[in-house]
């Protein structure tokens, strides 16, 4: 459970790629009424557009590469420490292509969200749009959820549907999903930050308890 704070919520954003979701969040946080600020951006690899964006915005950045550690446990501990140093209210995985370990989840479980480019529980994993297209679904989309120990299995905050068009290929569908996904991420992170949330079983309730 989390309650809204009088100050803007502190976000740490984790990326592995271009960072278009991060860019959308940075844009939204320019409005003081949004209720959240990106404090730091971390990556699991060098050379991500996301970290470049963060540096250009004058934000703190860090990179923790799995290959630089003797074990996954060690990497998990190092990533946890990096994120914890920024005292986030909410950690946002925005295209972060690593599964965080037990230490990370122990520390940030219940305040670590991920955006996935499929309508979960269908098509988990890294090929959501490709798998949805191959299956022949008429509605694809994106899911925002609190990360748990499974692969794309956590409690769902929000979902947005994106119709599959007859002439879609993986690239066009992926791109249309990303547009809807970014808007959803921005809207929902703002809501979580301003209103607080609680997780009851698999259900996420945004806003004060009634």
Q: In whole angstroms, give the CA distance from residue 3 to residue 111.
A: 11
Determine the residue with CB nearest ligand GRF: 95
- 20 labeled part of a ligand binding site: yes
Task: Enter the DSSP assignment of 106.
Answer: H
- 19 labeled part of a ligand binding site: yes
Active site residue 86: no
CB 198 within 8 A of CB 3: no
- 21 labeled part of a ligand binding site: yes
- Least Å distance, CB 116 to ligand GRF, is 5
Catalytic residue among 69, 86, 116, 127: 116
- Least Å distance, CB 122 to ligand GRF, is 14
Q: Give SS3 for 104.
A: helix
End-to-end Cα, the chain, rounded Å: 14
- 114 labeled part of a ligand binding site: yes
Dihedral-angle region of residue 201 (phi above 0 means left; psi in -120 to 50 means alpha; beta otherwise) = left
Q: Which is nearer to ligand GRF, 117 or 196 (CB)?
A: 117
Q: Which is nearer to ligand GRF, 180 or 205 (CB)?
A: 180
Q: Which is nearer to ligand GRF, 82 or 117 (CB)?
A: 117
Contact residues: ligand GRF, CB under 6 A:
15, 17-22, 50, 94-95, 115-117, 178, 181
Q: Give SS3 for 9.
A: strand
User: Encoding tokens for residue 92?
Assistant: 């946002």
Q: What angle do CA 52, 57, 60 make, to 5 degrees?
A: 75
- 16 labeled part of a ligand binding site: no
Q: Which is nearer to ligand GRF, 88 or 95 (CB)?
A: 95
- Least Å distance, CB 17 to ligand GRF, is 3
- Least Å distance, CB 22 to ligand GRF, is 6
CB 174 within 8 A of CB 126: no
CB 66 within 8 A of CB 72: yes
CB 42 within 8 A of CB 121: no
- Least Å distance, CB 26 to ligand GRF, is 11
Q: Which is nearer to ligand GRF, 168 or 181 (CB)?
A: 181
Task: Enter the DSSP assignment of 103.
Answer: H
Catalytic residues: 116
Binding site: what residues are annotated? Answer: 19-21, 72, 114
Binding site for (6R)-10-formyltetrahydrofolate: what residues are annotated? Answer: 72, 114
């Amino acid at each position: 459970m989390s309650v809204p704070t009088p100050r803007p919520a502190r976000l740490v954003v984790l990326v592995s790629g271009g960072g278009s979701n991060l860019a959308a969040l940075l844009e939204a946080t320019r409005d003081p009424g949004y209720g959240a600020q990106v404090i730091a951006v971390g990556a699991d690899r060098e050379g991500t557009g996301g970290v470049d964006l963060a540096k250009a915005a004058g934000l703190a950045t860090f990179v923790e590469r799995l290959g630089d550690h003797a074990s996954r446990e060690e990497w998990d501990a190092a990533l946890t420490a990096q994120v914890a140093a920024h005292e986030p209210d909410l950690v946002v995985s925005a295209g972060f292509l690593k599964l965080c370990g037990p230490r990370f989840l122990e520390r940030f479980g219940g305040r670590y969200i991920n955006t996935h480019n499929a309508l979960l529980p269908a098509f988990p994993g890294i090929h959501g749009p490709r798998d949805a297209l191959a299956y022949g679904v008429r509605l694809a989309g994106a899911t925002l959820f609190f990360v748990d120990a499974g692969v794309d299995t956590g409690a769902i905050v929000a979902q947005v549907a994106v119709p599959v068009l007859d002439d879609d290929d993986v690239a066009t569908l992926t791109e249309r999903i990303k547009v809807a996904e970014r808007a959803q991420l921005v809207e929902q992170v703002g809501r979580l930050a301003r209103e607080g949330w609680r997780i009851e079983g698999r259900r996420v309730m945004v806003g004060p308890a009634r």
